Amino acid sequence: MLTLLRAAAALALLALPARADVATAVEQVILPGYAGFTEAARALETAAEADCRPEALRPAYHAAFDAWMAVSHLRFGPAEEGGRSLAIAFWPDPKGSGAKTMARMIAAEDPAVEDPAAFAEVSIAARGLFALERLLYDPALTGDYACALTRATATDLARLAAEIEAGWAEFAPLLLTAGQPGNARFLTETEARQALFTQLMAGLEFTADQRLARPLGTFDRPRPERAEARLSERSLRNVQLSLAALERLARALAPDSPQTEAGFEAAGRLAAELDDPALARVGDVQGRLKVEILQQRIHALRDTVTTDVGAALGVSTGFNAADGD
Amino acid sequence: MATRRHVLAGLLASSLPRLSWADAGSPTFVAAARDATNAFALHGLSAEGAPLFAIPLPARGHAAAAHPLRPEVVAFARRPGAYALVIGCASGTVLARLTPPEGRQFNGHGAFSQDGSRLYTSEVVAETSEGRVGLWDTRGYLRIGEFASGGIGPHELRRLPGSELLVVANGGIRTDPEDRSKLNLDAMRPNLSYLAPEGELLEQVELEPEYAQNSIRHLALAEDGTVAFAMQWEGDPADPVPLLGLHRRGSPARLCPPAETEAYAMKGYAGSIAIDAAGERLALTSPRGSVVQLFAGDGTPLATHPRQDACGVAAAAGGGFIVTDGGGAVSHLTDAGMRPLQTTAAAWDNHLVRIA
């Protein structure tokens, strides 16, 4: 009840002047995040050109995936145009579309690998970081064609990263001039704040309800094979990096939110204590319990962020988005 | 029971000088909204989305149905609905208040017969979510009967153009009568049902079993008899299922997937659907994805346009669509993209209803 009253009191102070929250998030978190990803993807492309062998490429691969995790939750603007974020990271893929398409390409020695424009037309499921993961961690994928596919995929990834960064050079000013005449994308400052708030909330939900929930499955049927990036054993790392990235965004949007900070700190600590890189132990009672506790912690954090950050920004989940009808 | 209010409403409707939609400022649309003081109202909007009038509602609204001749709309409560108000748009007064019979709940939508003498309301048996179509005589808005809707959890109900036949989107979801929680997601079977005005089930369309969790909820009707339907996916969000379907009587339904790159943009959720005046474009809104997807009339995907919390959509008078959103904007959507027309303090609720 107290929390509700606090939220109501904060909402009553809605006549907010132009504020630094959106600008801080864009300039200090989002743009540097995309710049970092572009750089890491370019480095991966260069490394693949020099040496396409899996063991040689893995460090650059992990660096690129790490860099993607800093921005993977930003599902609006240039990352959504043309399905770019899906082409970078197509997961979950319950029907295994990516592996199937890749197997077909390999069997046919699809010449798309010779032409970046043709490769950009390959199914989004068969490109990006998860395609590279198969090429670098599935021992069955070797040979000259696999090498060409690795290089083509890395080149495509670098292109996507560069396109998103270039797109943000035009998209960031729209966020920063929300509500000003001529800005048809963000008609009010509230829209810009709500757009960022939505990314934060959706990011927390994705980590709890996909990254953790998919391998958890049910108690009777745990599904460790459904963990994200389990071949490269990045499942837990992605959870941790996602939480860290969301914390940076939350801090930029609402710097004075001690409960939110405490929530991120607690979730981060639980994740760090997990010691289960591929979330493979969801099948045994102890291992499962720890993942469930982390998931509950993130759900609680989502509620804290809703009230805390939402009140600070003067926004909530969209009127209709929350409705369901 | 003919309450005094009902009788009065009937007298008013029949004895006053006949008012027309012009007396109501000729609104092109009506839409429910929450205003800046958190009060709910039904608004009349001009063709350009400018607010013309607002009539208070007792609780959050949903869709409305416009009388074909008289300047009256029936504004339905959000599901599970305890009220529907007949509003005289010229006078700004409530002409009648409809209350569902004991054990029934309104489900947010309704439609008039061609001559406006009858109103059909989408309803459920509260305890079981079995669908009903409520029948009302519009002379005094008296309940005159009901029949089965052909499924569980009916949502939108429409009368086919130039016909007395009804088409109902039976969403298939059994919900808790108090809190709307969904009770049968593993066993739901949505359908599209065509009903004669006296209730006879003429045709019923179900989707393939793999789409049993795709709740058919909203409808857009083409002049040629094609029924376009919009769905809300209750299955695994990682499955990119189509949210648009097309159906013509006597044929199977045809689902229309978006482009692969846009397959997740709607987040498995279509809030509203509309067909443009020329019958050449379909628009589906997703407040969860904050996008509107455009399709050709044959279901070919064309484009995905961002608009935050977009939900209401209806055909614009001069081509394209008018889109309303929870942030208060009214926008014009064409093949060229989304152009803002108005920003208001109202949080526009689903739906935007075109008047005739």
Consecutive 10-residue averages of pLDDT for chain A (325 residues) = 42 48 97 98 98 97 98 97 97 96 97 98 98 97 96 98 98 96 95 97 98 97 97 98 98 96 98 96 95 98 96 93 84
- Using a CB-CB distance cutoff of 8 angstroms, which residues of chain A are in contact with residue B329? 187
What chain A holds in terms of domains, given with CATH numbers, is 20-176 (1.20.1420.20), 187-313 (1.20.120)
For the residues B12-28, what does the mean pLDDT come to? 70
> Which chain A residue is nearest to residue B182, measuring alpha carbons?
A324
What is the structure's pLDDT at B16?
Answer: 52
Q: Which two tokens stand for residue A313?
A: 């920004």
A76 interfaces chain B, CB cutoff of 8 Å? yes
Q: What ipTM does this complex have?
A: 0.90
B182: burial class by Cβ within 10 Å (0-12, 13-18, 19+)?
middle
Nearest-Cα distance to chain A for B309, in Å, is 6
A34-A40-A42-A44 Cα dihedral, nearest 10 degrees: -150
Assess contact for A23 and A176: CB atoms under 8 A: yes
The pLDDT-based confidence of B356 (bands split at 50, 70, 90) is low
3-state secondary structure of B299: coil
What chain B holds in terms of domains, given with CATH numbers, is 4-266 (2.130.10.10)
> Which chain A residue is nearest to residue B261, measuring alpha carbons?
A83
Separation in Å, CA B183 to CA B124, B153, B179: 14, 11, 11
A212 interfaces chain B, CB cutoff of 8 Å? no
- Using a CB-CB distance cutoff of 8 angstroms, which residues of chain B are in contact with residue A210? 237-238
For residue B130, which amino acid is it? E
Q: Which residues contact A254 (CB under 8 A, 6 or more apart)?
A: A21, A260, A308, A309, A312, A313
Cα separation of A235 and A213, whole Å?
12
Q: Among residues B300, B281, B293, which one has the least CA distance to residue B231?
A: B293
What is the structure's pLDDT at B17?
Answer: 60
B258 interfaces chain A, CB cutoff of 8 Å? no
For residue A288, which amino acid is it? R
- Using a CB-CB distance cutoff of 8 angstroms, which residues of chain B are in contact with residue A198? 290
Assess contact for A279 and A215: CB atoms under 8 A: yes
Separation in Å, CA A258 to CA A203, A255, A263, A308, B54: 20, 8, 8, 9, 42
Q: Among residues B158, B83, B311, B219, which one has the least CA distance to residue A323?
A: B311
What is the structure's pLDDT at A5?
Answer: 41
pLDDT in tens, B220-264: 999 999 999 999 999 999 999 999 999 999 999 999 999 999 999
A121 interfaces chain B, CB cutoff of 8 Å? no
The answer to whether the CB atoms of A195 and B326 lie below 8 A apart is no
> Which chain B residue is nearest to residue A76, measuring alpha carbons?
B306
> Which candidate in A93, A122, A207, A320 is best for mutational testing of the B interface (most B CBs within 10 A)?
A320
The answer to whether the CB atoms of A320 and B262 lie below 8 A apart is no
Assess contact for B197 and B118: CB atoms under 8 A: yes
> Which chain B residue is nearest to residue A77, measuring alpha carbons?
B306
Cα separation of A14 and B179, whole Å?
29
Cα separation of A155 and A127, whole Å?
10
- Residue from the list B237, B288, B339 with its beta carbon closest to the beta carbon of A321: B288
Q: What is the mean pLDDT of chain B?
A: 93
pTM confidence score:
0.92
Cα separation of A95 and A123, whole Å?
14
Alpha helix (H) ranges present in chain A? 2-12, 20-24, 31-50, 54-69, 84-88, 97-108, 116-119, 128-137, 144-176, 189-206, 213-216, 235-253, 258-272, 285-313
The answer to whether the CB atoms of B239 and A324 lie below 8 A apart is no
Nearest-Cα distance to chain B for A117, in Å, is 16
